[in-house]
């Protein structure tokens, strides 16, 4: 008798757990997004939205500092990016960086040897210098994506030296290592059935990012031909990679597919929402940043900060968005930090010359 009841209880508990996996507890809210009659609607969970509000509060900016007085490059020994700021502006930005990036990890000391601030002995300072350049570069060159809103260190870091997403998971990616079960009877599984958080734990290739966010493989699924053509890229594998990326994009923005697409015709641009165009630029921006800034930092990092294939941590949509359709719900911090809005004009070349062999090789490898 007792055992039977126990089994029955177990079955009920099992069913509840199964349902919980694929079903969100009501109430959820529906908001129309596309034209009437297209069925394009967003489903929001009010409980998630409450959690999101705290994550997207903007910290109060320190009062603006005067531009007058001696310049940082005249006073300090080793400034390569921020030399044209006044010492007061420079100090204000350092103090802000300490609260944006490393408030619970030592503040200034996370990047500096306190005995000698000019020294570049910590890798974190070298990375931070490149991050300063990247932030300026994004705001100056990728307005098609970030608009006037722009980004600061806080957009990605939110008080953590290693960016986290809305669920506290790492908000950057590495190339997937070799699969646990290579080849064998199952053949090449391409990371399938090794569920990865970044693609919603779906049975999709667990790392589509090397192809699309470092390499420039075509994100196309729908074939233009009735019959399979030779060398067609619109094969099942390309479809799986594409869906992996799309699930990452939806989760990162906290939206459904039809925030961008009319799901009766995923490929059709005229039927898509304007946000799909912003997303298209977003993909190109992330690709550009990974190739120009993140991946080339490989030699700077400690070995245990590199991925299983020895690559540096790289960006994707979750790095900035963290579950919000616009990072920080579109509030701009950049207006209080104009020094981050364009490259400094110190007369030095800020960006390495064209043609970075390491990144090029990876592109080729990823496209294969």
Closer residue to ligand HEC (CB): 179 or 276: 276
Cis peptide bond upstream of 128, omega within 30:
no
Distance of CA 175 to the CA centre of its chain: 14
Residues 91 and 72: beta-carbon distance below 8 Å: no
Count the residues of the shown chain that bind ligand HEC, applying the rule CB under 6 A: 80
For ligand HEC, the closer of residues 179 and 263 by Cβ is: 263
Nearest to 315 by CA among 299, 350, 291: 291
- In this structure, what token pair is assigned to residue 361? 């090789």
Q: Determine, following the binding rule CB under 6 A, whether residue 145 of this chain makes contact with ligand HEC.
A: yes
Q: Which of residues 28-87 bind ligand HEC (CB under 6 A)?
A: 76-82
From the CB of 168, what's the least distance to ligand HEC, in Å?
15
Least separation in angstroms between residue 311's CB and ligand HEC is: 11
Q: Which two tokens stand for residue 214?
A: 């470092």
Residue list 168-197, contact with ligand HEC (CB under 6 A): 172
Among 40, 151, 176, 196, binds ligand HEC (CB under 6 A): 151
Give the residue with the Cβ less far from ligand HEC, 33 or 179: 33
| Shortest separation between residue 307's beta carbon and ligand HEC, angstroms | 10
Which residues in the 89-118 window bind ligand HEC by CB under 6 A? 94-95, 97-98, 101-102, 107-108, 110-112, 117-118
* Contact partners, residue 209, CB within 8 Å, separation at least 6: 173, 175, 198, 245, 248, 314, 316
**Residues near 120 by beta carbon (within 8 Å), at least 6 away in sequence:** 78, 126
363 near ligand HEC (CB under 6 A) = no
Q: At closest approach, how far in Å is the CB of 81 from ligand HEC?
A: 4
Nearer to ligand HEC, 191 or 295 (CB): 295
Q: Which residues of 153-175 are buried (b: 16+ CB within 10 A; e: fewer)?
A: bbbbbbebbebbbbeeebbbbbb
Is 266 among the residues that bind ligand HEC (CB under 6 A)?
yes
- Given a contact cutoff of 8 angstroms between Cβ atoms, the answer to whether 55 and 322 are in contact is yes
Stretch 279-308 residues interacting with ligand HEC (CB under 6 A): 279-280, 282-283, 286, 305
Which residue's CB is nearer to ligand HEC, number 162 or number 181? 162
Q: Which of residues 314-353 bind ligand HEC (CB under 6 A)?
A: 315-317, 319-321, 325-327, 330
Is residue 256 exposed (0-12), middle (13-18) or buried (19+ Cβ within 10 Å)?
middle
Q: Which of 56, 89, 132, 291 binds ligand HEC (CB under 6 A)?
A: 132
Q: How far is the CB of 241 from ligand HEC (least distance, A)?
A: 11
Q: For residues 203-222, which are near ligand HEC according to CB under 6 A? A: 219-222
Of residues 107 and 179, the one with the C-beta less far from ligand HEC: 107
| Long-range pairs of 256-261 with CB within 8 A, sequence gap ≥ 24 | 256/41, 256/42, 256/43, 258/33, 258/34, 258/39, 258/40, 258/41, 258/42, 259/33, 259/42, 259/325
Segment near ligand HEC (CB under 6 A); pick from 37-45, 201-209, 255-263, 358-366: 255-263
């Amino acid at each position: 008798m007792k055992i039977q009841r126990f089994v029955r209880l177990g079955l009920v508990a099992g069913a509840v757990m199964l349902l919980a996996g694929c079903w969100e507890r009501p109430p959820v809210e529906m908001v129309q997004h596309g034209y009437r009659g297209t069925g394009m609607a967003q489903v929001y969970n009010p409980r998630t939205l409450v959690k999101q509000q705290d994550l997207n509060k903007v910290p109060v900016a320190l009062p603006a500092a005067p531009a007058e007085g001696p310049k940082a490059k005249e006073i300090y020994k080793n400034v390569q990016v921020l030399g044209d700021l006044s010492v007061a502006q420079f100090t204000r930005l350092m103090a802000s960086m300490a609260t944006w990036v490393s408030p619970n990890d030592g503040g200034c000391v996370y990047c500096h040897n306190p005995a000698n601030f000019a020294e570049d002995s910590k890798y974190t300072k070298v990375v931070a210098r490149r991050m300063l350049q990247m932030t300026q570069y994004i705001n100056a060159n990728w307005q098609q994506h970030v608009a006037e809103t722009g980004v600061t260190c806080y957009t990605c870091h939110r008080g953590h030296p290693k960016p986290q997403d809305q669920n506290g998971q790492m908000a950057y990616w590495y190339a997937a290592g070799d699969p646990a079960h290579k080849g064998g009877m199952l053949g090449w599984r391409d990371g399938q059935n090794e569920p990865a958080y970044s693609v919603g734990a779906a049975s999709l290739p667990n790392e589509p990012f090397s192809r699309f966010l470092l390499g420039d493989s075509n994100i196309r699924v729908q074939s233009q031909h009735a019959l399979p053509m030779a060398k067609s890229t619109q094969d099942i594998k390309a479809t799986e990679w594409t869906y992996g990326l799309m699930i990452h994009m939806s989760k990162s923005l906290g939206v459904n597919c039809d925030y961008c697409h009319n799901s009766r015709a995923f490929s059709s641009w005229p039927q898509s929402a304007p946000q799909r165009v912003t997303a298209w630029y977003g993909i190109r921006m992330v690709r550009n940043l990974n190739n120009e800034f993140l991946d080339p930092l490989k030699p700077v990092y400690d070995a245990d900060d590199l991925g299983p294939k020895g690559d540096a941590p790289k960006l994707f949509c979750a790095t900035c968005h963290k579950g919000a359709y616009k990072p920080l719900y579109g509030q701009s911090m950049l207006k209080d930090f104009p020094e981050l809005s364009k490259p400094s004009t110190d007369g030095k070349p800020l960006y390495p010359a064209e043609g970075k062999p390491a990144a090029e090789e990876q592109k080729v490898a990823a496209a294969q």
